[in-house]
Amino acid sequence: MTQLYLSRHGLTFDNVAQIMQGQRQGQLTPEGERQIMGLAERLHDTRFDCIISSDLQRAIDSARIIAEPRGMEVVTTPLLRERDWGDFTGRFIPDLKGLDFPDNVEKMEVLLERANNFLLWIRENYPEQTVLAMGHGIINKAIQAVYHHLPTKKIPRMDNAEYRVLDL
């Protein structure tokens, strides 16, 4: 059995400013770095065979805070990227309330397919291993929805630097 520790990156400047990050790189705030250092401490006694991250900078930086003291490299994959918010990307979130999604927002079916492909990729490439995966709020929700066979609205929101364990 593969054990997947699915985590969300630390707090970013865009999170604080309520900016729709989507697939922007993002930068951790000092608080976000502290959050991930706290996560690293909580996971101190957990032995990981691999640490994987979204290929977006905020997730890579978060994963490195955990990987470097362990002498581990971070493997990146676009499968863990946050949802593409199209024309909503970079906009002030409260201004988006009640607006219809632009046509270029990543469709939920596509996001769920990507989440499923991530789980298949983990099972295939990391059998019988313990893996930490550093992702983002919406893709992590989609991964859990696929895993639990539930609609995304039934999956509780993940806070920054939170993790959940999935046995694959």
54: phi then psi, degrees, rounded to nearest 5:
-55, 155
Tell me whether residue 76 is exposed, middle or buried, using C-beta atoms within 10 angstroms of its C-beta: 0 to 12, 13 to 18, 19 or more: middle
Strands (E), 20-141: 50-54, 74-77, 130-135
31 is annotated as an active-site residue: no
Give the residue carrying structure tokens 């581990």. 72
Rounded to the nearest 10°, the torsion over CA 84, 87, 92, 94 is -90
User: Would you tell me how many other CB atoms lie within 10 Å of the CB of residue 83?
Assistant: 24
Bridge partners, residue 8, by sequence: 135
In the three-class reduction of DSSP (H, G, I as helix; E, B as strand; rest coil), residue 7 is classed as strand
Active site residue 9: yes
Catalytic residue among 82, 109, 113, 128: 82
Active site residues: 9, 82
